[in-house]
Amino acid sequence: MSQIIEFIGNHTLLFVAFVATLGMLVYTEYMRISSANTALSPFEATQKMNAGEAIIIDVRDDAEYKSGHLLNARNFPVGKFDERMHELEKFKDKEVLVYCDSGMRATRALAKLKKNGFTSLFSLNGGLAAWEKANLPTVTR
pLDDT of the chain, 141 residues: tens digit per residue: 889 999 999 999 999 999 999 999 998 778 766 665 588 999 999 998 888 878 999 999 999 999 999 999 999 998 888 899 899 988 888 899 999 998 888 888 988 898 888 888 999 988 999 999 999 999 987
> Distances in Å between the alpha carbon of 10 and those of 1, 4, 13, 90?
14, 10, 9, 58
pLDDT at 37: 59
- Which one-letter amino acid corresponds to residue 49? M
Dist CA 121 CA 36 (whole Å):
7
Strands laid side by side in the 74-75 sheet = 38-40, 121-124, 95-99, 54-58, 74-75
pLDDT at 9: 92
pLDDT at 124: 92
Looking from the CA of 90 toward its CB, the CA atoms found within 13 Å total: 2
pTM of the model: 0.74
* Residues 94, 120 contacting (CB under 8 angstroms): yes
